[in-house]
Amino acid sequence: FEGGEGSGKSTQAAMLADRLKSFGIDVLLTREPGGSPAAEVIRHVLLSGVAKTLGAEAEAMLFAAAREDHVFNTIEPALARGQWVISDRFADSTRVYQGSLGQVDARMIRRLEKLTIGETRPEVTFILDLPAEQGLARANARRGNDKADRFESEALEFHQKLRDAYRQLAADEPFRCVLIDASAPRVSVGMAIWDVINRRFDPATAPLFVEGASP
């Protein structure tokens, strides 16, 4: 799942995981930055904003270090066990935040991507799309009195450009990336996502997961 701040990625990733589990499918729900113990430490560094002064390239390298550990220690073992992996953000976040917005050279972004994920690419990426003002309002409401993190505290213009960059990504990779109208109520957004999952993966015919049984 990809998209701007507060677009509903965590909500929809969890809803999809629950729905797949109800079909007896073994699902791993994970997130970036993070998803493994070492990557969670890097997440803390990045979102605190202490790495901002190092510049977008250094931040891209830190996100890459976290991703490498996440892929190696969490995602690949899960896939090897036969689990379906749902990640709340992945490599497209680096393309968009550090690449399109941070203006890190596209060749460097591609090299980092090759190094960190290799062939472990998502079969489908849902890009949750809604106006930046709406996403930020949702993120602010959920955060309450807590401080905005490194990227939430960027200006509105940053978030508007972020939305444009994600829409461009969806246009560039129309099969892998599915643009979803995230301004609709949670249930309607979930139905649009489920419709794509149903058509592409037919979960009703997937092998059943039996607790305790070997894969």
Give the β-pairing of 177-181 and 125-129: parallel
**Residue 165 to residue 10: CA distance in whole angstroms:** 20
DSSP string, 98-110: IIIIT---HHHHH
- Closest distance to ligand T5A from the beta carbon of 70 (Å): 9
Which residue lies nearer to ligand T5A by CB, 55 or 215?
Answer: 55
- Closest distance to ligand T5A from the beta carbon of 94 (Å): 4
Q: Which amino acid is at 96?
A: V
CB 11 within 8 A of CB 139: no
CB 181 within 8 A of CB 189: yes
Q: Helix or strand or coil: residue 27?
A: strand
Which residue lies nearer to ligand T5A by CB, 26 or 33?
Answer: 33
CB 57 within 8 A of CB 108: yes
Question: Token pair of 95, please?
Answer: 């393309």
- Closest distance to ligand T5A from the beta carbon of 104 (Å): 10
- Closest distance to ligand T5A from the beta carbon of 80 (Å): 23
H or E element: which one contains 197?
helix 186-201
Which residue lies nearer to ligand T5A by CB, 45 or 47?
Answer: 47
**Residue 182 to residue 189: CA distance in whole angstroms:** 6
- Closest distance to ligand T5A from the beta carbon of 89 (Å): 4
- Closest distance to ligand T5A from the beta carbon of 212 (Å): 32
Cα 129 to the chain's mean position, in Å? 13
Binding site for ligand T5A (CB under 6 A): 3, 5-11, 32-33, 47, 63, 89, 93-94, 97-98, 138-139, 142, 151, 185-186, 189
Which residue lies nearer to ligand T5A by CB, 54 or 210?
Answer: 54
Which residue lies nearer to ligand T5A by CB, 184 or 206?
Answer: 184
